[in-house]
Structure 1
Amino acid sequence: MTYSILAVDRAHRAIGIATATFSLAVGNSVPAIDPAAGAVASQAWPNRDLRHLALEALRDGAQPASALASALRTDGGAAYRQLAVMGLDGAWEVHTGESCTPWAGHRAVDGMVIAGNYLAGSHVLDAAADAWGATPDLHADVPPDEVVDTAGRRAQRAVPQASVALAKRLVAALLAAEDAGGDARGRQSASLIVSSRGERVQWPPATDIDLRVDDDDRGPYALAALLDHRLGTRAAD
């Protein structure tokens, strides 16, 4: 009922996850990131505990396959889950339970894995992977995000270039998947989380970009507009 893209930029030390679905407020229930460990998406019939357990295992040094397996061992409903796990080095693992609503599956290319269920078909994943591979190097300068403090003074909060580049690639892949049919039921919510790689565990995690569309029939397209706004590449409404 959802598709999620997990990705890393190993050279520039960034990690992120983008998600879209026909359900409400996907950013609250599906994706999770720890900049010091990795990224996780628990979807289909999501079990939020799996996100915590998988990230905890990654923090303890487990590889994604082991982290995924240890999390699923706690879950009596694993047949209904789709769980994707990615480490900071780009290693990944995906579980798609036999009771997930078809079409369900995953596709991976270097630095990225996309997993989805209740999709229009496998071509949705193919479109995302193709878009990921076709996206050019985006590490050019972009305007920093301009903010105003409580005294009305302008300040600058720059987004690290690696996170900008990764966010744009994730959104490009997400839109390609949506253009190919996305969630077979339609659109409602979407989420984007990107962070520079961290050296220590923090809670809440320190993220560079954390955007959510909770209830909008434009879903991923509204998320793309939010990203443009966040980066200062369009004027505020």
Structure 2
Amino acid sequence: MTFSLLGRCARTGQFGAAVTTSSIAVGTRVPFLAAGVGGVLTQHRTDPRLGPRGLDLLRSGCSAEQALAAIIASTPDHRWRQIAVMDRQGRTAHFDGARVKPARSVSHGKDVVALGNILANERIAHAMAEAFLASLDQPLAERLVRALEAGEAAGGEHGEVTSASLLVVDREVFPYVDLRIDKAVGPIPALRRLWEEYAPLADGFVKRAIDPEDAPII
């Protein structure tokens, strides 16, 4: 009962992920990103071990397809997994295990892959990818939030979502954005509000880390 996406900004080189689900703490279990490397989503019967494994494969020079194939080959329970991978060039790959419950949905586009399981209909991922691709002039985090909103507007999950996450990496080893909503009524609108509050502060927090002498007071 999850829908999510990976996205890349060709202008800045940032990678990002956004996800929502009916259970708690989705941000700790589904999205995995590394600056200059790419990203992995692991969901359905979620195995968070697959995220770091996928990132290591991408660091080694694997393409998205190669990394995904290696993950599946080394995962005995892959029939329960729904996985997406994006490499440093923005190429994407996905896997739906045989035991992943419908309605399933997946959509690939330039620098984006969206997918979900136990959804209200099969149009959700397409709506998300379409929203992401329609807002090229916006910051990556904003595009990801818009995609989640589009997925919800297209029908969302089979049930109610209660947690949501927005994760973006830029040049540093720490995230540029890492925002999470847990056990909330309306987690996507709550994530929207949190992002809009955080957006004008994001560059300042990075500045504090790399140049504290000239950092803004936040």
1:212 and 2:168 aligned: no
Task: Choose which of 184, 190, 196 in structure 1 pairs with 2:170.
Answer: 196
1:46 partner SS: coil
The alignment of Structure 1 onto Structure 2 pairs a total of residues equal to: 201
Paired residue type of 1:180: A
Tell me the TM-score normalised to structure 2 length: 0.88
Q: Which runs of 5+ in 1 are unaligned?
A: 139-164, 199-204
Query: Is contact 2:103-2:118 (8 Å) kept?
Result: yes
**What is the alpha-carbon distance in structure 2 between the residues aligned to residue 64 and residue 94 of structure 1?**
9
1:48 partner SS: coil
**What is the alpha-carbon distance in structure 2 between the residues aligned to residue 197 and residue 62 of structure 1?**
20
Aligned to 2:145: 171
1:127 partner SS: helix
Aligned to 1:142: none
1:83 and 2:83 aligned: yes
In the TM superposition, what whole-angstrom CA distance separates every residue of 1:169-191 from its partner, at most 9, and x where no partner exists? 01001101011111111110000
1:17 and 2:12 aligned: no
Identity of aligned residues (%): 33
1:36-115 maps to which residues of 2 (within 5 A)? 36-115=36-115
Paired residue type of 1:95: F
RMSD: 1.4
Q: CA deviation at 1:133?
A: 2.6
**What is the alpha-carbon distance in structure 2 between the residues aligned to residue 48 and residue 219 of structure 1?**
22
**More helix, by proportion:** 2
1:221 and 2:189 aligned: yes
1:93 partner SS: strand
Aligned to 2:208: none
Tell me the TM-score normalised to structure 1 length: 0.81
Query: Is contact 2:106-2:126 (8 Å) kept?
Result: no
2:49 partner SS: helix
Aligned to 1:156: none
**What is the alpha-carbon distance in structure 1 between the residues aligned to residue 169 and residue 33 of structure 2?**
8
In the TM superposition, what whole-angstrom CA distance separates every residue of 1:87-121 from its partner, at most 9, and x where no partner exists? 12110110011110101131011111101111111
Q: CA deviation at 1:74?
A: 2.0
